[in-house]
Amino acid sequence: MTPALSVSHAQTQSELSSSFKTDPNAKMVLQANELVYDNDAQTVTAQGNVQIDYDGNHLVARKVTYNQRTNRMTAEGNVEIVERDGNRIYSDKMDITDDFREGFVNSLRVETVDNTRFAAESAERSNGEITTFNNGVYTACEPCKKNPDKPVLWQIKARKIIWNGTTKTVRFERGRFEMFGMPLAYLPAFEMADPTVKRKSGFLFPGFAYKDELGFGIRNSYFWNLAPNYDVTLSNTAYTQQGFLTEVEWRHRLENGTYNLRAAGIHQMKPGEFDLATVDRENTDRGMIASKGKFEINPRWTFGWDVIAQSDKNFSRTYSLQNYTQQTLRSEIYLTGLNDRNYFDLHFYKFNVQESVLPDSEWEVNSKQPWVLPSIDYSYTAPNPVYGGELNFDMNVQGIYRENTQYSTGTYPRIPGLGGSSGRLTGEAEWKRTFISPGGLVITPLLALRGDGIGVNSDFDPIGTGDVVRSEAFRAMATAGLEMRWPILFSTTSTTHIIEPMAQVFLRNNERYAGQLPNEDAQSFVFDATSLFQRDKFSGYDRVEGGHRANLGVRYSGNFGNDWAVYGLAGQSFQLGGVNSFAESDFVNVGAESGLETARSDYVAMIGLSNSKGLSLAARGRFDEESFEVRRGELEAQQNWKRVSLSMRYAFIDAQPAYGYAYDRQEVSLSGSTKVTDNWRVFGSGTYDIVSETLVRASSGLAYDDECFTYAMTYVQTRNPGETEASHGVGFNISFRTLGDLGTSSSQFAN
């Protein structure tokens, strides 16, 4: 039977969490096998599979007695309440008011929606706000399924646990912290945020740091939750050598984005602890200010920034400020837009190298870093076919300013960046269409037209003549190309093979002004199998490939019935006529010893195979066109088992003196991870420089992970190639879910 009882209370309280308003006309719906009315005692007793629903709360028990005089309910026998917010309450007997606002519970157990647990001998509920657990236990760990009586990994036991639903706090009185059932710390009084609360003002767990020059540091932080959408974090790290480092961060979330403001500063007590002739030693008062933001103007446009200013060029790296420890910091302001087949990107950049050398040192490079004002990219693809093909338009605008010229002298002088200013406007249109013949031959003709307008204002004269660097230039490149591919399929009952011969021919005019114009964005260049069939193999716009060229190769992919998959690509490139752009040196000698500077290029190839059991192998290489000697090679191997993973990488690069590398580069890297148990794992890695016979980096670590606790500890050893003295670091991190984290601020846990 399902009688309905009307309840007149306009406000009720979730048993163990925050206050909430209810419907004034909320009904209590009861369902049971038997309903007994006692008019003399004015009680109603429901027995057998009792279920009560009230304004989102659901109660289940074997027996429930409702006293009409006191408006209280007594529930007995495997009592369970599922609150409207998902919390679950278990007890053998429960005495509560009919609006679930107040009550007394024996042998209570609570499971919250975020998988935290409370248990107590008894509990009292008062004023619809405060729940007091007597002789209570709190944990975020799940009990062992095989042995529920086994102590959980960690828990807090207390004489009283007071859960305040209004202030959203949990207070422990006369408590102790236990791990594996063993007491570790006594807590006379301890308060934390309600486990359901994600943001609440209070002190954060301390952090630790160590560096020889700074000493041992203890970091204390206070989080101030000013409003649901903005907050402040104030931190202070006390170093035994250098004093107090103060940091503050403001975070603000708006309807269409977020931003933050950060500042940090210190008055160094012992700058003499740093090495001689360094900015760390020469600066006593040091600091930084930074900001990062991102906003969606509308669904198509995004605006943002990430900027930093420092009192000196090495402050953030010296003190390991989070997100600002990189050797090269990039400040940027950007605007991006994407709509259908249109893409727009506007960036302003400023690069800062964090280095310890003094500004006037001959090795100083920070003042030689550029301002990019601005960099603009625009791409458009016509929505409808043009003469049956696809038409694309690309534009790039780049402005560069650099205070001092960056250059190196020697047998092969290089000038990566000219002092002064330069600008370039590039526009390119490309049309291509694909035809498939009845025999399966894929033919793709291509037409492209590009123009560059370039202006340079620099007084640097690397050779002593005034006309080495052109002050202005217009460069045009017209391309007619043809690509042919013929995929051939071979298959049996258990294998499939595709062999695809490929050929490309490009007819172009010669590149103009090579070696007379700055090269800022096309300095990185690698010729291998992945770039063999690119129309323009330069990595940026400042160089453009000219002359007539053919690219020939064959591609293969196969699948075998025993779960093996194989792929491969091999080929060669040929300069058919005109001037070879890769043989024309510029200020950085970008094409030197690249394998493309001769009429017949080096051979390039790659091959890889993998199976469904976690094994993968890959090899890539570039081989001399005459002697077939290896000029560049890479080997990679990886195996993943259920509990063990291993990986290896070997790389060899032949010397490129004109490109800035006077000696061969050769190194091997190994890494591995082993799960000792379901929760424990051991990991390690190492990188060995074969040329200098130096172990440049080695690390090892131990980690534990489960649903309520995380522990990781690492040891790292690093040294520069050819050096015997190594630097050492130890990092650790301990995390108790819902309680906080404890560890070193600069720990890096790899693998």
- What is the full DSSP assignment across 211-251? ETTTEEEEEEEEEEEEETTEEEEEEEEEETTTEEEEEEEEE
Helix (H) or strand (E) holding 575, with range, is strand 564-577
CA nearest 536: which of 395, 319, 412, 547?
547
pLDDT at 18: 39
On the question of pLDDT at 16 being above 50, the answer is no
On the question of pLDDT at 456 being above 80, the answer is yes
Per-residue HEC secondary structure of 111-158 comes to: ECCCCCEEEEEEEEEECCCEEEEEEEEEECCCCCCCCCCCCCCEEEEE
Instruction: Return d(Cα 729, Cα 747) in angstroms, integer.
Output: 9
pLDDT at 554: 98
Residues with Cβ within 8 Å of 651's Cβ and at least 6 positions away in sequence, in order, are 633, 634, 635, 665, 666, 667, 668
| Residue 363 CB burial class (10 angstroms; 0-12, 13-18, ≥19) | exposed
- Which residues make beta-bridge pairs with 155? 178
Q: In this predicted structure, which of 410-424, 432-446, 549-563 has the lowest mean pLDDT?
A: 410-424
Q: In this predicted structure, which of 77-81, 535-539, 546-550 has the lowest mean pLDDT?
A: 77-81
Q: In this predicted structure, which of 169-183, 261-275, 317-331, 459-473 has the lowest mean pLDDT?
A: 459-473
Instruction: Return d(Cα 239, Cα 246) in angstroms, integer.
Output: 11
What region does 614 belong to: left with phi over 0, alpha with psi -120 to 50, or beta?
left
Task: Provide the 10 A C-beta neighbour count for residue 712.
Answer: 21
Mean pLDDT, residues 654-671: 91
Is the model more confident about 25 or about 24? 25
On the question of pLDDT at 272 being above 70, the answer is yes
Instruction: Return d(Cα 540, Cα 524) in angstroms, integer.
Output: 8
Mean pLDDT, residues 405-411: 81
pLDDT at 101: 64
SS3 of residue 659 by DSSP: helix
Percent of the chain's residues with pLDDT above 70: 93
Pairing of strands 207-211, 740-744: parallel
Q: What angle do CA 262, 402, 308 make, to 5 degrees?
A: 0
Q: What is the DSSP string of 331-372?
A: EEEEEEEEETTEEEEEEEEEEEE---B-TTSTT--GGGPPEE
**118-159 per-position pLDDT tens digit:** 888 888 877 667 888 889 898 888 887 777 778 888 899 999
Name the range with the highest mean pLDDT among 121-130, 430-439, 712-721.
430-439
Helix, strand, coil % in the chain, rounded to nearest 5 = 5, 60, 35
Tell me the two tokens of residue 431: 């049309």
pLDDT at 466: 43
**216-260 per-position pLDDT tens digit:** 889 899 999 899 899 999 999 999 999 999 999 999 999 999 999
Q: 334-339: long-range contacts at Cβ-Cβ below 8 A with a sequence spacing of 24 or more?
A: 334/302, 334/303, 334/304, 334/305, 335/301, 335/302, 335/303, 336/301, 336/302, 337/300, 337/301, 337/302, 338/300, 339/300
> Where along the chain do its domains lie?
4-198, 409-624
Contact (Cβ atoms closer than 8 angstroms) between residue 353 and residue 369: yes
pLDDT at 701: 92
Instruction: Return d(Cα 291, Cα 249) in angstroms, integer.
Output: 9
pLDDT at 374: 93
CA nearest 538: which of 548, 527, 550, 549?
527
Q: Which fold has domain 4-198?
A: lipopolysaccharide transport protein A fold (2.60.450)
Whether a cis peptide bond, with omega within 30° of 0, leads into 721 is no
- Residue 138 CA from chain centroid, whole number: 33
Instruction: Return d(Cα 283, Cα 523) in angstroms, integer.
Output: 35
pLDDT at 23: 53
Instruction: Return d(Cα 354, Cα 314) in angstroms, integer.
Output: 5
- Looking at this protein, which amino acid is placed at residue 69? R
Q: Tally the C-alpha atoms within 13 A of residue 50's C-alpha that lie toward its C-beta.
A: 26
On the question of pLDDT at 25 being above 70, the answer is no
Name the range with the highest mean pLDDT among 175-179, 459-463, 539-543.
539-543
On the question of pLDDT at 748 being above 50, the answer is no
Mean pLDDT, residues 582-589: 90
Task: Provide the 10 A C-beta neighbour count for residue 245.
Answer: 24
Tell me the two tokens of residue 448: 């492209």
With cut-offs at 50, 70 and 90, classify the pLDDT of residue 102: low
Please report, in angstroms and rounded to a whole number, the separation of the first and last CA atoms in the chain: 61
| Burial annotation 144-181 (CB, 10 A radius, 16+ → b, else e) | eeeeeeebbbbbbbbeebbbbbebbbbbbbebbbbeee
Q: What angle do CA 521, 522, 528 make, to 5 degrees?
A: 140
Residues with Cβ within 8 Å of 418's Cβ and at least 6 positions away in sequence, in order, are 402, 405, 456, 458, 460, 469, 518, 587
On the question of pLDDT at 607 being above 70, the answer is yes
Contact (Cβ atoms closer than 8 angstroms) between residue 399 and residue 372: yes
pLDDT at 338: 94
Q: What angle do CA 183, 186, 187 make, to 5 degrees?
A: 130
Tell me the two tokens of residue 297: 């103007």
With cut-offs at 50, 70 and 90, classify the pLDDT of residue 662: confident
- Any alpha helices (H) in 230-314, and if so which ranges? 279-282
Tell me the two tokens of residue 635: 């080997």
**106-128 per-position pLDDT tens digit:** 777 888 777 888 888 888 877 66
Contact (Cβ atoms closer than 8 angstroms) between residue 136 and residue 120: yes
On the question of pLDDT at 8 being above 70, the answer is no
Contact (Cβ atoms closer than 8 angstroms) between residue 385 and residue 371: no
